[in-house]
Structure 1
Amino acid sequence: MEKDKKLWTKYNKPLIEQRADPYVYKHTDGYYYFTGSVPQYDRIILRRSNTISGLAEAEEITIWKKHESGEMSAHIWAPEIHYIFGKWYIYFAAGEKEDVWKIRPYVLECEGQDPTQAAWVEKGKMQCAAEDEYSFRAFSLDATVFENKGEYYYVWAEKVSVGKQISNLYIAKMESGIKLSTIQVLLTTPDYDWERVDFWVNEGPGVLKRDGKLFLTFSASGTGACYCVGLLYADEDSDLLDPLSWTKLRNPVLVTDEKKRVFGPGHNCFTKSEDNQKDLMIYHARPYEEIQGDPLSDPNRHAMILEVKWGKSGFPIFEIEEQKGEEYEK
């Protein structure tokens, strides 16, 4: 880590070190709740603070550990914490010790209203709608949840096996915190060159709402310096289960910036500043490009913060700027 710190700049200083796939949820109790992937991929952690910057030094508790074998015994990835249907849920992906790439989506449900103190209960795999013969049958991960017009939607990445596997994004409505009510709808597949570096991938969705529009970011390509962020958008009054309601931008909206030493930015979420006036993007990136061995074995994907700016057209602007002031300092 000391060697890694020498590479930090005023642009890439982490909010939280070695926490990939970061997720921050701002609850009505005034607290920010943070979770993310740990380098060992063996547990689910949670932090809480009443400020964004406070998450950096907040106590980190382990609320769940992987199984010794069978389901949920390997590759514990990309947890997200949500409060929906009157309860706390954590959505995460996991493999099996006997088949580490048999990745599927799973759910934890909290028995109380304080997720840092109450017990978390395993609810098994996320359940698809009864008539859905396709969802969660193959490599599936990176689920997120968002609300629109009183309905909850579940968005996730799943691979299809046509020659070289391709990771697409799908969407469905939710019946409850553990089950979908509609069959999957394809949102996006890797169409462009920047989505097909090393692997053909769309994953890591995140949703931002503003002025009647929904903006859905996603991550693309392999998990090295080629990792980047793309964008879909839709009108909030449209049928979100109609693929034609969504438009995909031709080019990525956030990519590696060598001069600022931000490599492979992606797998982000969105939250609000303490005064609710700013939209904040929490994402992960590395401070260097060269990786020894498998990128997934490199621990230094750090959680970082970016203030979302808004253009005259009403679209978000994702620009890596200098981190300054107490708001973003450790």
Structure 2
Amino acid sequence: MKIAGCNFKHLLKTYAVWITIVILAVSCASKKDKTSERDQVYFTNPIFDEGPDPFVYLHSDGFYYCMVTRGDRLTLWKTNNFTQLRTAESKDIWFPPEAGPNSCCIWAPEIHYINDEWYVYYSACDANNAGDHSRYVFVLHNKSTDPMVDSWEDLGKIDTEFPGIDGNVFHYKNDLYFMYSPYIGNQSGIMIAKMKSPVEIETPATLLGLPLHDWEKTGDREIMEGPQFLEGPEDKIFIIYSAGACWDDNYGLGLLSADKDANLLDSSSWSRSDHQVFEQCQDSSVFGPGHNCFTKSPDGKDDWIVYHAKAASSDQCAGRSTRAQKFTWFKGEPKFGKPYSTKTKLSFP
């Protein structure tokens, strides 16, 4: 049989050859794409474009649970690589009521797993009576094993002596502690207390310090905030705090240190650094780095600091993006180095 002067069997063979070539080409392209993805072991900051006050928690299930300030809601991200937040699974887990003490200005959320249950601590104030005088730390509770499950319950505010923000909870030597930044006059300091439960603190709390150094002061506001506990590899423990104001380029990190066997509730146990331990780097176009948290690489070997910063000098809090970088230790103390440029390639955790 002839078709257009060609042998039919020869035509079928020709088609088969072309189909095989196309399949091989597609397969090779697919393999190349997968290889390219596998070979991509670097990231650049920021890891999230609008991400003030970041918090990253590595859970026993191997996932990181991440939160940032969104102002009008609480959102939770779940990922196995916290440097890839843009593509991570996310869910809005709570919206504030229209009225009441926690009805606006939802700031600085942190997620914690305590006694096999989930808690989120966040700052908020009353929309009808807004201001620092009505700003407190509040808590949500979730009994589900999966915090992405929509069963969060509002448990109200932590009953602190002063209004304040940036509640942080940590375990140390079988005790549960609560820290926050109280408003005392025109100052914000660091206070610490033991907790009776994840929602109740023992009183009185201890004031660990109020602003002292010039870099802890911005105009008429003197601020120490965002306290985070950090246990060193040798004989020291640390509280890393943010100092200055978020609208100030000089916003950065200070350090309190104490012996591991010290009484954490005794203010005399703590020594304060006389300089910032993490600060702006104009050469890298990083301004106002602060309000950090700490986490580990998935294998637990490397320490990471996650923080927010601005890419341009300004007198505003706007433009704070989430960034991350690995840090090291020297003679038992954390060494954070300089904040990296957004052009610097960093290895994945």
Normalising by structure 1, we get a TM-score of 0.87
Match of 1:29 among 42, 47, 61: 61
1:82 and 2:112 matched: yes
Q: Is the 8 A contact 1:23 1:269 kept in 2?
A: yes
1:88-122 Cα distance to aligned partner (Å, 9 max, x none): 10000101111221211100001311100141000
Distance 1:11 1:23, change over 3 A: same
* 190-199 or 49-58, which deviates more: 49-58
- Displacement of 1:182: 3.5
- Displacement of 1:21: 0.2
Aligned residues: 300
* 260-269 or 204-213, which deviates more: 204-213
Match of 1:191 among 209, 212, 230: 212
Q: For 1:121 and 1:277, how far apart are their aligned partners in 2? A: 35
- Displacement of 1:326: 5.0
- Residues 162-311 of structure 1 mapped to structure 2, 5 A cutoff: 165-198=186-219, 199-211=221-233, 212-224=235-247, 225-291=249-315, 295-296=316-317, 298=318, 300-311=319-330
* Residue 10 (structure 2) aligns with: none
- Displacement of 1:189: 0.8
Q: Is the 8 A contact 1:49 1:55 kept in 2?
A: yes
* Residue 6 (structure 1) aligns with: none
- 5+ residue gaps, structure 1: 1-9, 129-134
* Residue 4 (structure 1) aligns with: none
Normalising by structure 2, we get a TM-score of 0.82
**Secondary structure, counterpart of 2:348 in structure 1:** helix
Percent identity, aligned pairs only, is 35
- 5+ residue gaps, structure 2: 1-41
- Displacement of 1:15: 1.1
- Displacement of 1:186: 0.7
Match of 2:96 among 55, 62, 66: 66
Match of 2:80 among 38, 50, 55: 50
Task: Report the residue type matching 2:195 in the other structure.
Answer: M
Name the one with the larger helix percent.
2
1:317 and 2:335 matched: yes
* Residue 174 (structure 2) aligns with: 150
CA RMSD of aligned residues (A): 1.7
- Displacement of 1:266: 0.4
Task: Report the residue type matching 2:108 in the other structure.
Answer: A
* Residue 5 (structure 1) aligns with: none
Larger Rg: 2
- Displacement of 1:124: 0.4
**Secondary structure, counterpart of 1:158 in structure 2:** strand
Task: Report the residue type matching 1:205 in the other structure.
Answer: P
Q: For 1:178 and 1:290, how far apart are their aligned partners in 2? A: 38
Distance 1:88 1:74, change over 3 A: same
